[in-house]
Amino acid sequence: MWHKIIEIKEWFGEMSERYRLLKDFNRAAKFSFVQGIAPALLEAKITRGDSAYKHAFSKWMGGGFRIKALSGRSLNQNELIEIGRVVLDNEELIRKMISLGWDTLEVHSNIGYNGTKWPLKKYANIGGFLS
């Protein structure tokens, strides 16, 4: 019976860590936009993700990390990829996201239907040498 209490505590702790990472991302994105460092305001939220990108630690119905770019115009594919590269080039962040249950990175424009997505496990260097 006591092991169930520990499992529940661990589950809530992990959920708390997921929301903290999301909140920290949004706070940093807002700060960068207000300071004029970033040309668009970015906002992240949790989505379903892509079932084709699932891995052993994926959260059911919550494996997507979606970044929406609030730019006042529809962004082209290259601009969306550039935003995604900021996350994908940070291997430590990718590994943290995977350990917290995310499997898909999505980047969308707030206007139009443009969007792109990546499987996080492809960018984590899993099974290889750490850099």
Q: What is the pLDDT of residue 60?
A: 82
Q: Is 102 part of a structural domain of the chain?
A: yes
pLDDT of 67 above 50: yes
In a domain, 129, yes or no: no
Distance (Å, whole) CA 69 – CA 47: 15
Residue 128 lies in a domain: no
Place of tokens 């730019």: 71
Is 130 inside any structural domain?
Answer: no
pLDDT score recorded for residue 126: 75
Is there a domain that residue 38 lies in?
yes
Q: What is the mean pLDDT of residues 14-42?
A: 93
pLDDT digits (tens, 9 = 90+) for 72-129: 888 999 999 999 999 999 999 999 999 999 999 999 998 878 899 999 999 998 765 5
How many domains does the chain divide into? 1
63 within a domain of the structure (yes/no): yes
Instruction: Tell me the pairing of strands 115-119 and 64-70.
Output: unpaired
Q: Which domain holds residue 115?
A: 2-123
pLDDT band at 34 (very low <50, low <70, confident <90, very high): very high
Residue 93 half-sphere exposure toward CB, CA atoms < 13 A: 13
